[in-house]
Amino acid sequence: MPTFATVGYLNTIIHLKGEDNLGGLQQIMVCRKADITLIPDPVGGIVYGDITFGPGGAFVQWDVTLESSVIQSQEVVTKEGSSKRNSLAFTIPKGRSDLRNMFTRMEKDEFVVLFLENGKQKLFGQLHAPVLFSFSHSSGKKFSDLNAFEGRFYYDGPDNVFYYDGDTGTPPAGPAPSIVMFNGEVIASLQPGETLNILSDYSFSEYFTTS
């Protein structure tokens, strides 16, 4: 008889009993990457702690057509290794000038998406791996057809979908923090009046001369 236990990273999988297993997404919330200053690193597939926003930054809720939203994750194997092709698709009625204008601008931007799946929050996107957006529109041929936008958030690369155990957050008041980066990586976030002191064996001039 098998032993039902946890061995290394392998967990026992048992039949669902009395639990909902609904398809589709119950909620979609969108935020521009530029409006987020910090997302905690995921641990064991879960992002613990709250997201930090810049001034005015926040998630915006989208009400999409019922039973139209879906998150899909596909493994892609190449000579360089394996990665994920993740996408979140949805439908929004109807042909509207304000939506078309917003969607057109979004096609040139980067985002982080928070969605609710089976009662659990998940994040699609990280600061170093944001998601992109595309859309199309169809008027439909018949009166019974749906006049709607078809939208899609998408991403190719190392997996960037994680469970989220934090809050949606409240935008801070006051000026935006200064973000300190080293070789493209964020190493600190400074509020007004704070000082970052970097200790090094090289002087400032020597660093820029030799690098």
Cross-strand bridge partners of residue 123: 114, 162
Q: What string of DSSP letters covers 34-50?
A: GGEEE-PPPBTTEE-SP
What is the structure's pLDDT at 121?
Answer: 93
Per-residue pLDDT of the chain (211 residues; tens, 9 = 90+): 455 566 676 766 666 666 565 556 888 999 999 999 999 999 889 999 899 999 989 999 998 988 889 999 999 887 778 889 999 999 998 888 889 999 999 999 999 999 998 888 999 999 999 999 999 998 877 766 678 899 999 999 999 999 999 876 544 455 555 666 665 555 565 666 667 677 766 655 554 454 4
pLDDT, residue 82, reads 86
Yes or no: say if 84 and 58 are a contact pair by the CB < 8 Å rule: no
* C-alpha distances out from residue 209 to 185, 197, 201, Å: 22, 20, 14
pLDDT of residue 174: 54
> Pick from 85, 71, 83, 157: which is nearest to 122 by CA?
71
| Residues 135 and 107: beta-carbon distance below 8 Å | yes
Q: Quick one: pLDDT at residue 210? A: 47
Distance from chain centroid for Cα 24: 17
**pTM attached to this predicted model:** 0.69
